[in-house]
């Protein structure tokens, strides 16, 4: 197996995530237990039993998904200790789990960063009225032109034919109508708390700088692609800068995925809640084996 690892982003959360893998894997349980000690609030209770409303808040959701993803990674390493990925990447929040996987920082340091990131993004959401929408089947150049006219921004370049736009709620509504007026009908408003990956998040990104600067970063032990550039980054100063820029910048996921799969991969393993990234993978590069590690059942399905 020549595998690359990808890690879930915000939106992949669900009540019950991590519960069975916590019960099945001592390594996964240790990750959750460590997270609770660091955070000082009942992470396991919220992940395993909800309420769902709490999991929707960035301040809770981001450390919860990061922990669940790292727990799934620990369980996978426990089951297949010889499995070494060719490269890795994560979607938005998932980039932190990818950087941990690449040895850039410890689980604990990554959790502290993600907890601060979630709080800062929650505050940004509450200080503005933002919205997002998914644009299906429209060329990137056309999307960019219509967004520029409407004063909104491209948030995610997910895969061919799927682009997410972000900005002030009123401007997003008008931009959706502009797309429809030009004959592009498949524009889907998203249920989100704010305008992620837009300039409305810039202050949150800037406020993250002091936390990043005081965190110990090491050079990656394997190639890791970052969202802001869509390419491999190995310099720790650049990694920090990209984590700041990523908060308000476009997520170039299609480029990230092409970069990591181009390392000679035949298998993509999505680690963490949900299955969004394996769904995108089949639309970016054909012929890859797609595997999810998000539960005890999915873990047991992986061949020893």
For residue 304, what pLDDT is reported? Answer: 52
Catalytic residue among 166, 197, 207, 250: 197
Catalytic residue among 92, 198, 207, 261: 92
pLDDT digits (tens, 9 = 90+) for 106-142: 999 999 999 999 999 999 999 999 999 999 999 999 9
Write down the H helix ranges in the chain: 19-24, 26-39, 43-49, 52-56, 58-79, 94-101, 107-126, 140-150, 169-181, 202-207, 209-213, 236-248, 253-261, 276-284, 296-300
DSSP assignment, residue 224? Answer: B
How far apart CA 31 and CA 54 sit, in angstroms, is 21
| Residue reference for tokens 């996978």 | 76
Among residues 274, 301, 193, which one has the least CA distance to residue 15? 274
Among residues 89, 255, 117, which one has the least CA distance to residue 196? 117
For 3-126+200-300, which CATH superfamily applies? Malonyl-Coenzyme A Acyl Carrier Protein, domain 2 (3.40.366.10)
The full set of domain ranges for the chain reads 3-126+200-300, 130-193
Q: Is 106 a catalytic residue?
A: no
Distance of CA 228 to the CA centre of its chain: 12
Write the class of the CATH domain 130-193.
Answer: alpha beta
Torsions phi, psi for 222 (to 5 deg): -150, 160
How many residues belong to the chain?
Answer: 304
DSSP assignment, residue 37? Answer: H
pLDDT digits (tens, 9 = 90+) for 143-182: 999 999 999 999 999 999 999 999 999 999 999 999 999 9
Write down the pTM of the prediction. 0.97
């Amino acid at each position: 197996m020549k595998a690359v690892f990808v890690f879930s982003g915000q939106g992949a959360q669900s009540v019950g995530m991590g519960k069975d893998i916590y019960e099945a894997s001592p390594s996964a349980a240790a990750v959750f237990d460590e997270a609770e000690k660091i955070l000082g609030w009942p992470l396991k209770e919220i992940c395993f039993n909800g309420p769902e409303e709490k999991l929707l808040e960035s301040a809770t959701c981001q450390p919860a998904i990061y922990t669940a993803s790292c727990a799934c990674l620990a369980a996978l390493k426990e089951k297949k200790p010889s499995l070494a990925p060719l490269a890795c990447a994560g979607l938005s929040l998932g980039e932190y789990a990818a950087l941990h996987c690449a040895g850039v920082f410890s689980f604990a340091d990554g959790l502290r960063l993600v907890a601060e990131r979630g709080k800062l993004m929650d505050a940004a959401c509450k200080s503005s009225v933002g919205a997002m929408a998914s644009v299906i089947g429209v060329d990137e150049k056309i999307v960019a032109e219509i967004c520029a006219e409407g004063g909104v921004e491209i948030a995610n370049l997910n895969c061919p034919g799927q682009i997410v736009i972000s900005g002030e709620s009123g401007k997003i509504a008008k931009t959706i109508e502009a797309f429809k007026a030009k004959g592009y009908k498949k524009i889907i408003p998203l249920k989100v708390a704010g305008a992620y990956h837009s300039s409305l998040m810039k202050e949150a990104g800037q406020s993250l700088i002091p936390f990043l600067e005081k965190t110990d970063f090491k050079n990656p032990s394997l190639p890791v692609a970052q969202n802001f550039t869509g390419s491999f980054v190995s310099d720790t100063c650049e990694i920090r800068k990209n984590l700041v820029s990523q908060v308000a910048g476009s997520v170039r996921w299609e480029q990230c995925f092409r970069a990591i799969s181009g390392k000679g991969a035949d298998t993509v393993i999505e680690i963490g809640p949900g299955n969004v990234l394996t769904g995108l993978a089949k639309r970016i590069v054909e012929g890859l084996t797609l595997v999810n590690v998000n539960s005890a059942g999915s873990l047991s399905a992986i061949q020893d």
